Amino acid sequence: MKQSDFLKVVLPFKDKVFRLAKRLLVSTEEAEDATQELYFKLWKNKQKLSEYKNVEAFAMTMTKNYCFDRLKSKQASNLTLIHSNYKEKDTSLDKKVEHNDSVEKVHRLIEDLPEQQKIIIQLRDIEQYSFDEIAKMVDMKPTAIRVALSRARKTIREALIKQHNYGVS
């Protein structure tokens, strides 16, 4: 496989790999390192890529596993998530502050979800993968993914309603 062919295969999902890594790891720097490590591994094994039906799903699975390994390592004992990928122009300051506050609340609620639900909500609601694609990545049945996603969304919805009704942050 030539470099140009490799890039045509793997570059379209680079941003998705980065966003998943950022969701699971500490910071932009950690996510960039994870993305770079994944692409290095893919390049090293570029001759085997044609064996996979869905290279993107394979890459996302590799990213998830790499991030979990990083989180389990001793180096990662002090990692926390910092997530801020929302940017908007031409909005009043109070609307921006209100929106950023809401986005931050949702991100905190996602962080409090069980690990499996956190990954599923990231892959489905943010990355827009199909249930079948997610099933391959996380090694679960699509029906189990639907149940986990439903529970995750319900947990987030109930927490937001509770916060809104009581004014609690």
pLDDT: which is higher, 14 or 98: 14
Mean of pLDDT values over 9-26: 87
Model pTM score: 0.54
Architecture of domain 91-169: Orthogonal Bundle (1.10)
Q: Tell me which residue has tokens 């030539």.
A: 2
Distances (CA, A) of 89 to 34, 94, 97, 119, 165: 30, 13, 13, 29, 29
pLDDT higher than 50, residue 84: no
Per-residue pLDDT tens for 38-79?
999 999 988 888 888 888 898 999 998 888 888 777 454 554
pLDDT higher than 90, residue 5: no
Confidence at residue 87, expressed as pLDDT on a 0 to 100 scale:
46
| Domain boundaries defined on the chain | 10-82, 91-169
Is the four-CA dihedral 67, 73, 76, 80 of positive or negative sign?
A: positive
